[in-house]
A and B are shown apart, each in its own frame.
Chain A
Amino acid sequence: MNIIEEVLKRKRRFAIFPIICADHCAHILHKNFKDVATNGEILAEVLEYGYNLYRYDMTLIFSDPYVEAEAMGCSLEYSPYPKLISNSELIRKKEIKALRLKSEIKGLRLKFKDRTDEIIKSAQILREKVDVPVFVSIKGPFTLACFLYDTEDLLKLLLNNETTARSIIRMALDFQVEYLDRLLKIPVNIFIGDPLASASVISPNLFKKFAYEPLRILINKIKSAGMIAGVHICGDTRPIIEFLDNSGTDILSIEDISHKTKTLKMGGVSTITLLNSDKKKIQKEIELALKQDFLILSTSCDVPVNTPAENIETMLDIARQYEN
């Protein structure tokens, strides 16, 4: 049983994983980020480097938030990190009313620049290279739908054209179900990132109406395959915490871990604290976080790319002192 499983089964108090993504690892290795984001082998190489450097208790394959959006027709530009420069014309024109058939989704992936196979390749490699659980980050259907259609426009549709909003979210969900099928064959654990579904953006009512069910469908699928499911939503989660807690996810990665939940939480250290290298503050936040009965001690969001490696080492060193 690995450390994450031990904590999930409440046989160990905590595990440690600051949310280190490929951008930070590429930065410390001086790798061109476009090469990292577009090549599964290089992606695995930088993440393996990060793991060997810090020796945390799990790894997360996350290059950037736009992998699936790009495969569905969005355009990206690297400068040096990817940014979305256009939404999916296909989705905006709604040429495909609903992507229900796997063949349609496969056709879509062939039509556009698809990096999902590179992510799968990196997961296959990393599983062989590291001795901790490997997670792949995928986007929640609601957040993916925002990227595909344009966030502002989709948010407005939630209130003035529910049917169209639902059909776009459905397309995002269908794509993710097919992507999950391929990921779970590896097999690999999954983290679903759905930050645009937070209560910093939409009301609990809209969350329940549009974001919750697609999230649950993905969680159920991961759990049915016997893998660990995590959900990451940064921003305000207090108004939706009960939904998240009852979603069936194994891990909840949230900014404010003071919420009472039956689900194992992940978080505790502010990314800004880590960036600012204030040792005392890091210690204080860790001490407070470890008052939780069980926890994956982590950062509130992904570690900023330029966070000094020594700050991350400080966090891990302090946390290790509380083991046993």
Chain B
Amino acid sequence: MKGMAEILPSLFYPSIANDKFLNKITLKGGRLDFSLIKKAIVSFEEDKVKKLVKEFLENGIVAKDILEQGLIPGMKEVGRLFEIKEYYVPEVLLASEAFYAGFEIIKPPLIEQKIEKKAKIVIGVVQGDIHDIGKNIVKVMLEASGYEIIDLGKDVPNEKFVETVVQENPQILALSSLMTTTMIQMETIIKLLNKKKLRKNVKVIVGGAPINQEYADKIGADGCAEDAARAVKLVDKIIGVNP
């Protein structure tokens, strides 16, 4: 769905005085063209993303529109390419850097504008495991899909997950593990949540190379995702929102 600012730029952005910029980003019919940002993310052009986002901001485009019309569609396209196996992990990593380069610039105005997030998610790699690429990719995809992410990092003690659930009251707890020696921690964390009577308040999703739906069912998780694109779909489904 098109944002109002994209449909009616003159109404929402009457203050754009820079004709050169206006010409550059105005499409036929008066719509603003955020695809430059999207394309720069898809082609991993970090510096270009920074330059464009700064330019958009300086010319009065609000951070929310830059995020929703430029940065998020960029990462969504990267997710689509990842899902159809045109992009692999290296491509997603570089695109994520480009996304975050732009995201960091609009973060301060975004905080001021108090953008509402779809839900809060706590994410981390379980104790004993230092492989966090998968977790990082899931994180950026979820963040780009409008979720608030609390990233606990890698090799996270089981108790830390539980403490964070108590403190932050997230809707989702996302656990990642890449090794058969560490995947067992996921079950321990779920048991700890049960013991502390926290399980009703939080949905637990799991992922990582050795994890499948069968394992998720066995340990009592609410879902399992094979990759980052599917993780976003799973979370959307659990939260009950349209992508």
Contact = CB atoms under 8 A, between A and B. Distances in A.
Contact of A83 (B129, B184, B209, B218): B129
A264 to B, nearest CB: 24
Interface residues of B, number: 31
Contacts of B97: 156
Interface size for chain A: under 10, 10 to 19, 20 to 34, or 35 or more residues? Answer: 35 or more
B180 A304 contact: yes
A302 B180 contact: yes
Given A152-B136, A306-B184, A270 B212 contact: yes
A85 B155 CA distance: 10
B13 interface: no
B89 interface: yes
Contacts of B180: 271, 301-305
A155 B136 CA distance: 14
Contacts of B183: 304
Interface in A296-313: 301-306
Interface in B77-132: 85, 87-91, 93-94, 97, 127-132
A152 B128 contact: no
Contacts of A201: 88-89
B158 to A, nearest CB: 12
A81 B88 CA distance: 29
A276 B214 contact: yes
Contact of B209 (A79, A159, A200, A303): A200
Contacts of A234: 209
A201 B85 CA distance: 10
A273 interface: yes
A218 B218 CA distance: 40
Interface string A67-85: 0000000000001010111
A206 interface: yes
B161 interface: no
B227 to A, nearest CB: 8
Contacts of A83: 128-130, 155
A235 B85 CA distance: 14
A301 B90 contact: no
A199 interface: yes
Contact of A304 (B87, B130, B181, B212): B181
A303 B179 CA distance: 11
Contact of A305 (B87, B130, B181): B181
A156 B90 contact: yes
Interface in B20-79: 44
A194 to B, nearest CB: 14
Interface string A281-324: 00000000000000000000111111000000000000000000
Interface of A: 23, 79, 81, 83-85, 151-152, 155-156, 158-160, 195, 199-203, 206, 234-235, 239, 270-273, 275-276, 301-306
16 contacts: A84-B130, A85-B130, A152-B93, A155-B89, A159-B94, A160-B94, A200-B209, A201-B89, A203-B85, A235-B209, A239-B85, A270-B214, A271-B210, A272-B218, A301-B210, A304-B181
Given A152-B93, A199-B85, A201-B88, 19 more contacts: A23-B181, A81-B128, A83-B129, A84-B130, A155-B89, A155-B133, A156-B90, A158-B90, A159-B44, A199-B88, A200-B89, A200-B209, A203-B85, A206-B88, A272-B215, A275-B218, A276-B215, A302-B180, A304-B210
